[in-house]
Copies of this chain bind each other. A is one copy, B any other.
């Protein structure tokens, strides 16, 4: 985790090219790891640097995925993600699987059917072609499994020492079926909060193969393409309000984002959280919160309470949602905040992570 948690926001007047931009970026003059963590610092970079600098050319939100209308009313989802995970190969997958599934999932979270993917590689000089080949095979297999076509690409090479191994950007296009309207702004008080399975697995899997970190049990990444699960949920005909794949920043970052966007409170029941023993052990060893650890094959769904059982049944009938469960509710109290009921009857605030617990996990 970044050591900036104690620093309060402050306005430093960075002046780039004559344009004084108030950047409440915690008085840090340069990029730190936390800016890439998907938490509060990532949000600040978007809000206080990218959006003001982009000006009129930027869409009002610069989210994980955009919904666009083209031609005679066809609604597209469009998403981009760069992957810099280290190591490139880890238990249960590689940067190749992650890059395909990550973008497929970003598209699926707006209810889109993912169709087309681009792959753009930045390679460090000296990377073994056999490693690149294995990664490209993983990309091909994951795309075939997900039913998406790899239609365009790009390759750049940087000098040895200017990059490590392989960075891989995937961007994707999907089509949103008529009538589907899923958005982080749509959560309502009373809605049920569901999760499709065990949390924290991907982050712990990557951690387990970092130098010097070994746990008794091998944990394999949960990387998977979730659009099939989403299709099964949509087929129930119920009103899905919000879907999110809790990657960087974990469940905590996704729920905080939803609570703020919808201006509702979210109340989790701690004993209902599906944290597998290996993840719980690894997290207590390292002092991490499983709610902040990344997932790459899980989704959170916010649905009307009366539909929760039907949606849960559809999830549990799908291979990727077998241990789906309800973990909490949206409430009218503490709007914009996520709170967990603890085992002892108390409650604790689940804050938006500041930087990141574990860098380079995707």
Residues B70 and A31 in contact, CB atoms below 8 Å apart: no
Residues A152 and B78 in contact, CB atoms below 8 Å apart: yes
Q: Residue A162 contacts which of B120, B144, B164 (CB distance < 8 angstroms)? A: B164
Residues B74 and A171 in contact, CB atoms below 8 Å apart: no
Residues A158 and B164 in contact, CB atoms below 8 Å apart: yes
**A residues 63-83 touching B (CB-CB < 8 Å):** 63-66, 68, 70-74, 76, 78-83
- Given the interface contacts A29-B129, A57-B143, does A82 sit within 8 Å of B122 by beta carbon? yes
CB of A116 closer than 8 Å to a CB of B = yes
Alpha-carbon separation in the docked complex, A133 to B214 (Å) = 40
Alpha-carbon separation in the docked complex, A123 to B159 (Å) = 16
Residues A54 and B156 in contact, CB atoms below 8 Å apart: no
Residues B78 and A133 in contact, CB atoms below 8 Å apart: no
Alpha-carbon separation in the docked complex, A19 to B50 (Å) = 44
A232 to chain B, nearest CB (A): 23
Alpha-carbon separation in the docked complex, A121 to B118 (Å) = 16
Alpha-carbon separation in the docked complex, A360 to B85 (Å) = 23
A62 to chain B, nearest CB (A): 5
Residues A58 and B14 in contact, CB atoms below 8 Å apart: no
Q: Which residues of B contact A154 (CB under 8 A)?
A: 64, 80-82, 169
Q: Residue A70 contacts which of B34, B62, B76 (CB distance < 8 angstroms)? A: B76
A68 to chain B, nearest CB (A): 6
Q: Which residues of B contact A140 (CB under 8 A)?
A: 53-58
- Given the interface contacts A78-B116, A79-B152, A80-B171, does A33 sit within 8 Å of B157 by beta carbon? yes
Residues A82 and B169 in contact, CB atoms below 8 Å apart: yes
> Could you give, for residues 155-194 of chain A, a 1 whenever the CB lies within 8 Å of some chain B CB and a 0 otherwise?
1111101111001010101010000000000000000000
CB of A32 closer than 8 Å to a CB of B = yes
A103 to chain B, nearest CB (A): 10
Q: Which residues of B contact A167 (CB under 8 A)?
A: 122, 158, 163, 167
Residues B59 and A149 in contact, CB atoms below 8 Å apart: yes
Residues B31 and A144 in contact, CB atoms below 8 Å apart: no
**Known pairs A78-B116, A80-B120 / 13 extra A-B pairs, C-beta < 8 Å:** A31-B125, A36-B123, A50-B153, A53-B140, A57-B139, A59-B150, A62-B151, A66-B116, A66-B151, A68-B173, A82-B121, A83-B156, A84-B122
Interface residues of A, Cβ cutoff 8 Å to B: 14-17, 19, 21, 23, 25, 28-37, 42, 45-46, 49-50, 53-59, 62-66, 68, 70-74, 76, 78-84, 86, 115-116, 118-134, 136-137, 139-141, 143-144, 148-159, 161-164, 167, 169, 171, 173, 175, 359-360
